[in-house]
Amino acid sequence: MATRPSKVHYLSSSSSSSSDSDTSTSSSRYSMDSVVRPVASVEVLRCLRCARSVETTSTDDPSSQGMVRIGTNIYYCNRCAKMVGYK
């Protein structure tokens, strides 16, 4: 007679373990997304002074596109860099 209530308790604990597997599948899907991402991404560098924009890839050197990097995600074009005295 004492085994009956424990059987009901086992049923409810098995349903909570199924939600545990749900979280593991969603985390494995997230890691797959990061693998698909390309290594070189296209970035648009915009001059802070004259707003001239240049398209480049993350593997390219900004200076080869005529842009001078003055800070994190902040660029001057060659002309403005000369005017401000960055070159």
Minimum Å distance from CB 67 to Zn ion? Answer: 9
Separation between Cα atoms, residue 74 and residue 45, nearest integer Å: 8
Is residue 69 involved in binding Zn ion (CB under 5 A)?
A: no
Is residue 45 involved in binding Zn ion (CB under 5 A)?
A: no
The smaller minimum CB distance to Zn ion, of residues 23 and 72, is found at 72
Minimum Å distance from CB 84 to Zn ion? Answer: 9
Minimum Å distance from CB 42 to Zn ion? Answer: 20
